[in-house]
Structure 1
Amino acid sequence: MGNAELVAMMLADGRLPTGGHTQSGGLEPAVRAGLGADGKQLADVANYARDRLRTTTRVEAAVAVVTRHLTLCGTKVAPGDEKPPDTAEPIGATGTGSPSRAEWLSPTPPSREAWPENPSRSPRLDEPPTQRGWLGVVEGAWAARVPSQVLRGVSRRQGRLLLRLARRVWPGVSAYLPNDGEIARPVVLGVVGAVTGLSAEQVARTVAYDDAQTVISASLKLLPVDPADAATWLAGLHDDIERLVKDVAPLTHIDEIPADGAPLIDVFAHHHAIERMRLFHA
C-alpha cells in the first residue's frame, strides 16, 4: 500500500497521468475576461485561487472527505486491524469484481443514525449493508452543488482518468467503484484515500493543494509571470489551504457537504467550452 504521506504527494503531483496538465482551474477564461490584463495586477491570480479555495474547491474537498469516510465504514476491517483496507472485502459483496454502475448507484443511503460516529471502528455486518450505493448518492450530492454541466463533465472525465490509474496502482479501488462510466473526481479521490490509508486531513489537503497549484501553474503559460512570483503566490495560499482542511476534515455525513458556489466561474466555464482556440481544456 505504501506510505500515506508519499501517496498524498503522488496524488498532488501535476505530472501524474490523470490529465492535470490540461486544466487551468478556470484561469484561462478568467484571463480572457480581463484578469491580469496587459500584465498588470498579476497578483490577482493568487486572489482567484484563494476564491476557489473558499468556494468550489471547498465543496470538492468535502465530497472527497465524506467519500473516504463512507468507504471505510463499508469495509469489514478498519485501518489498523490485521487486514489492510486495500484487501478488505466490502460488506455485502458477492464477488471480487467491480460493481456495475447500476449496482453502484442503486441502494438507498442509510440514515444519519446508521453511520458509526467513530470511523476507526469496524461496523457490524448488519450496519450498514453496503456502501456502494452510498458513493453514488455522494456523487449525486456533489452534482447538485455543481450547477455547471460543463464543470461536471470536466470533473467526471478527470475522475475516469484517475480511476484508470488507480486501478493499476491501487487495485483495491475496484471493490468500490465500477470500471465503466465517468465518476466525479473527488469521489474517486476519496475512495483512493480510503484504500491507501490517507487521513481525512490528507485527502482534503490534497484536493486543496492540487486546485491551487493547477491555477498557479497555468498562470505561467497564460500570463507574463515570473516563476519565482508564482511560487510565492502558492506559498501564500498555505494558510487558506489549512483553513479549508480544518473546516472539512471532520465531515462524515452527506448532508454536511457545503454548497458554496462561484457563479462567475460557472459562466467562465461555459464561455470557455465554446472557444475555438484555447490552451487548456478547462
Structure 2
Amino acid sequence: MSTSSLLLALLGDARLPAGGHTQSAGLEPALRAGTTSAEVPAYLRARLHTVTLVEAGTAVVARAVAAGGGDLAEVEAAWAARTPSQALRANGRRLGRGYLRVLQALWPGPPDARARGWSRPVVLGLLAHRADMAASDLARLVGYDDVQTVTAALLKLEPQDPLLIAAWVKDLLPDIDEMAAQVAHLHTPEQIPARGAPLIERWAETHETTKERLFSA
C-alpha cells in the first residue's frame, strides 16, 4: 500500500483502537501541577522539542532498521535509554501493545515474540515499514498524534471552545513539520535525539500513583 494522505488520516484518527483514548500525553498531571489551559500551546511546543522529538526519531529509526532486516530490540533499548521516567517507559509499552494489534490486523507479517514488549514508536516504525509510509510522514504522524492527544484531553479535563482548540492545532502544524524534518533522515539507534523534559518526567511519575485520574498518562 502506497503512502497517502488517507493513510495518515487513518493512523492519526483518535478513534483508532490503539489505546489513545486513555491518554492525555501528560496534560492531566501538568494541569494538576498548575499549568493553565492558556499555556497548553506552549506545553505542546515544549513536548515537540523534547519527548515527541525522541519518539518521532525512534519511530523513524525503527522503520529504517525494519526495512534493513535489523534487530528492533536495539532500537527499543535506545528509546529506553532516552526515556528516564519509568512511568513513561511503561506507558509507552502499553501503547505499543495497542498499536501491535493494529499492525497485526491491518499489515500482518512474521510474528516476533518480543514485540509485545516494544514501545509505541518502535511498533509504529515497523508498521510504517510494512505500510510503505515515508519516514517524513511517519514523523509527522507522531507529532500530530501527540498534539491531538493533548488537545482532545483538554476538552474533557477543562472544556474549551472546540474551535479555539482547532486553531491551536492549526497554528502548531508548522512546528510539527519542523520537528519531523529534524528526524526524517535518521537511520541508526545512535542517531536518535536525546532531549530531556524533567518536569514532564516528574509529573508522569507522580501521575502513576495518583488514585483519582481520568487518563492513565
Q: TM-score range by the shorter chain?
A: over 0.9
| Alpha-carbon offset, residue 10 of structure 1 | 1.2
1:204-223 correspondence runs (5 A): 204-223=139-158
Q: Does 1:50 align with 2:48?
A: no
Distance 2:116 2:135 in 1: 26
Structure whose CA Rg is larger? 1
| Counterpart secondary structure, 1:16 | coil
Which of the residues 60, 74, 83 maps onto 1:137? 74
**2:46 is matched by which residue type in structure 1?**
D
8 A contact 2:3–2:133 mirrored in 1: no
| Alpha-carbon offset, residue 72 of structure 1 | 1.1
| Counterpart secondary structure, 1:146 | coil
Distance 2:115 2:41 in 1: 37
8 A contact 1:156–1:185 mirrored in 2: yes
Whichever structure has more helix as a proportion of its residues is 2
Distance 1:61 1:9 in 2: 17
The answer for unaligned runs of 5 or more in structure 2 is: none
**1:187 is matched by which residue type in structure 2?**
V
Q: Quickly say closer, same or farther: Cα 1:224–1:164, change in 2 above 3 A.
A: closer
Distance 1:153 1:221 in 2: 24
Q: Match of 1:30?
A: 30
Residue deviations 1:45-93 (CA, integer Å, cap 9, x gap): 111111100000000000000111111122xxxxxxxxxxxxxxxxxxx
| Alpha-carbon offset, residue 3 of structure 1 | 5.0
Residue deviations 1:134-158 (CA, integer Å, cap 9, x gap): 2101000000000011100000001
1:153-232 correspondence runs (5 A): 153-172=90-109, 174-175=110-111, 177-178=112-113, 181-232=116-167
| Alpha-carbon offset, residue 239 of structure 1 | 1.1
8 A contact 1:160–1:185 mirrored in 2: yes
**1:63 is matched by which residue type in structure 2?**
T
Q: Match of 1:279?
A: 214
| Alpha-carbon offset, residue 226 of structure 1 | 1.1
Residue deviations 1:111-130 (CA, integer Å, cap 9, x gap): xxxxxxxxxxxxxxxxxxxx
Q: Match of 1:106?
A: none
Distance 1:137 1:32 in 2: 36
Q: Quickly say closer, same or farther: Cα 1:44–1:70, change in 2 above 3 A.
A: same
Distance 1:206 1:219 in 2: 20
Distance 2:117 2:189 in 1: 20
Distance 2:57 2:153 in 1: 24
Q: Does 1:71 align with 2:66?
A: yes
| Counterpart secondary structure, 1:217 | helix
TM-score, length-scaled by structure 2: 0.96
| Alpha-carbon offset, residue 281 of structure 1 | 0.6
Residue deviations 1:238-269 (CA, integer Å, cap 9, x gap): 11101111100011121111100101001101
**1:136 is matched by which residue type in structure 2?**
A
Distance 1:262 1:24 in 2: 16
Q: Match of 1:263?
A: 198
Higher relative contact order (CA 8 A, sep 6+): 2
Q: Does 1:16 align with 2:16?
A: yes
Tell me the matched-pair count: 217
Identity level (%): 48
Distance 1:241 1:67 in 2: 19
The two structures, once aligned, show a CA RMSD in angstroms of: 1.3
Q: Quickly say closer, same or farther: Cα 1:254–1:3, change in 2 above 3 A.
A: closer
